[in-house]
Amino acid sequence: MTAPTMNTVVSPTPLDTAQTAARAFAQVARDAVTARGAFYVALAGGSTPKLMYRALRDQTIPWAALHVYFSDERSVGPDSPDSNYKLAYDELLAHVPIPAEQVHRLQGEVRPVQDAARAYEALLPAQFDVVLLGMGDDGHTASLFPGTAALHATGRVTANHVPKLDTDRLTFTFPEINAARERWLLVTGANKANILREVKDGLEAHPVAQVQEPTWFLDEAAAQAL
């Protein structure tokens, strides 16, 4: 099994990694707006992106031309501390002049959850410029967890029941993620190192290995086994 090509940027610390990714985000956003008049991005959830979202505030970005989406969301409302939207709002969106109508929240409070997935699909652009993702220490990405039905979903956005968390999630599918112009994985911390090594060694069992030709933004702790 050949190891997948890994376009990888390793920085010393989580803060360095966040700043490196923020600079790259600003550049790709400027390039997209210059070329096509808009930049379509799906933000990641979890805790890792927090430093990057803060670092983005100080970047030179054509905010008025950004269209912001989310690559997954928990089945909670926007005020929940578990909300990926809330994280992005508190750390970035509340601090930059993106027109409110260009920020598209995955409505995790809607029931049944699949109705929210279907409604979100109607809002999506034809193609994302960047889908930003994280990776769990079990190899999941977005809310595509090992052994869950969404790993095989063929639409663009789907609900996904995650037994290990005893909860439902909303997530981009792999076809949607892999249809983007670029896929970025922001991964820091020693607890991710073994999974990363297995992915680099071509072990396709981990869901994150299904993300095609990602750019990895890693800190040295996460990259220590590569």
Ligand X SMILES: O=C(O)[C@H](O)[C@@H](O)[C@H](O)[C@H](O)COP(=O)(O)O
| Bond into 112 cis (ω within 30) | yes
Residues 185-204 vs ligand X: string with x where CB under 6 A? --------------------
With residue 21 as reference, give the H or E element that holds it. Answer: helix 14-36
Of positions 17, 20, 48, 173, contacts ligand X by CB under 6 A: 48
DSSP designation for 103 = B
142 binds ligand X (CB under 6 A): yes
46 binds ligand X (CB under 6 A): yes
Residues 203-222 vs ligand X: string with x where CB under 6 A? --------------------
130 binds ligand X (CB under 6 A): no
Nearest residue (beta carbon) to ligand X? 134
60 binds ligand X (CB under 6 A): no
134 binds ligand X (CB under 6 A): yes
165 binds ligand X (CB under 6 A): no
72 binds ligand X (CB under 6 A): yes
Number of residues that bind ligand X (CB under 6 A): 14
Structure tokens that stand for 79 in this block = 């005020």
Of positions 13, 47, 60, 127, contacts ligand X by CB under 6 A: 47
45 binds ligand X (CB under 6 A): yes
Distance in Å, CB of 60 to ligand X, minimum:
26
Strands (E) across the chain are located at 7-11, 39-43, 66-70, 72-74, 130-133, 157-162, 167-172, 182-187, 215-219
**Alpha-carbon span 105 to 178, nearest angstrom:** 21
**Alpha-carbon span 111 to 99, nearest angstrom:** 27
Q: Which stretch binds ligand X (CB under 6 A): 8-16, 30-38, 114-122, 138-146?
A: 138-146
Write the DSSP string, 124-147.
Answer: --SS-SEEEE---TTS-BTTB-TT
End-to-end CA distance of the chain: 17
Inter-residue contact 217 to 186 (CB < 8 Å): yes
Inter-residue contact 33 to 27 (CB < 8 Å): no
Distance in Å, CB of 18 to ligand X, minimum:
11
- Residues 73-102 interacting with ligand X (rule: CB under 6 A): 84
Contacts with ligand X by CB under 6 A lie at 44-48, 72, 84, 134-136, 140-143
